[in-house]
A and B are shown apart, each in its own frame.
Chain A
């Protein structure tokens, strides 16, 4: 079975500081990995996805993530946080044989950006 673990349910950073949200995955096959963002009272929006083309993936709003097979990690980073980045972030994995396009989500990390 596939799974993802997001370390830290709440992360707080200062505006302009580095954002680092951690995600580790478990998969018996090469996975597809995704980061989604959810703003209050909205659905999930795709930030970026990894599908084996390149290990460093750039997404929207200045976010990027690096796939590290040796560490089974797919951490999300942004060099400089902005107040508008405050939201909940979800890591997800898919690609299990016979799993169709089913996504398994992590429990989410709430990002707070302070002045």
Chain B
């Protein structure tokens, strides 16, 4: 079975540009999570969805960040405008439900110059 698929794997762009990260969860999973990982702050939950509906976006750092899940098989995380401090690895994960483990994608390594 295909796991969680993220694209792109690497993104390098200049400050001020719009960045869109994409995620395809495992088919049948009801929950989708976006995380950010940095050396300084570790793993941070940004937002999660249940049945395509955002449930908790308290981890989204600023209005520059937005996330959507238009259907059960696709989600995007957008940063506009991007800043150097947004440089991090962004992970998407999905799971069946409460008590079930989360399955992670391989992440998008984002560098903002």
Please choose the segment from B12-20, B67-75, B80-88, B97-105 that sits at the chain A interface, where 4 or more of its residues have CB less than 8 A away: B97-105
List the A side residues contacting B45 at CB < 8 Å: 102-103
Give 19 pairs: A residue, B residue, CB < 8 Å, sorted on A.
A32-B98, A41-B106, A43-B105, A43-B106, A43-B107, A44-B91, A44-B93, A44-B102, A46-B102, A46-B103, A95-B98, A95-B99, A101-B98, A101-B99, A101-B100, A101-B102, A103-B45, A103-B102, A105-B43
Within 8 Å by CB of B43, from A34, A42, A90, lies A90
Is residue A14 within 8 Å, beta carbon to beta carbon, of the partner chain? no
List the B side residues contacting A95 at CB < 8 Å: 98-99
Within 8 Å by CB of B42, from A41, A102, A105, lies A105
Query: In whole angstroms, what is the CA distance A102 to B93 when docked?
Result: 11
Is residue B95 within 8 Å, beta carbon to beta carbon, of the partner chain? yes
A100 touching B50 in the complex, CB below 8 Å, given contacts A42-B106, A105-B43: yes
Determine whether the beta carbon of A100 is less than 8 Å from that of B106.
no
Query: In whole angstroms, what is the CA distance A36 to B4 when docked?
Result: 16
Determine whether the beta carbon of B95 is less than 8 Å from that of A101.
yes
Query: In whole angstroms, what is the CA distance A49 to B45 when docked?
Result: 19
Determine whether the beta carbon of A32 is less than 8 Å from that of B43.
no
Query: In whole angstroms, what is the CA distance A15 to B18 when docked?
Result: 46
Is residue A55 within 8 Å, beta carbon to beta carbon, of the partner chain? no
Nearest 10 CB-CB pairings of A with B: A43-B104, A44-B104, A46-B101, A105-B43, A43-B106, A101-B31, A101-B98, A32-B99, A107-B42, A43-B105
List the A side residues contacting B104 at CB < 8 Å: 36, 43-45
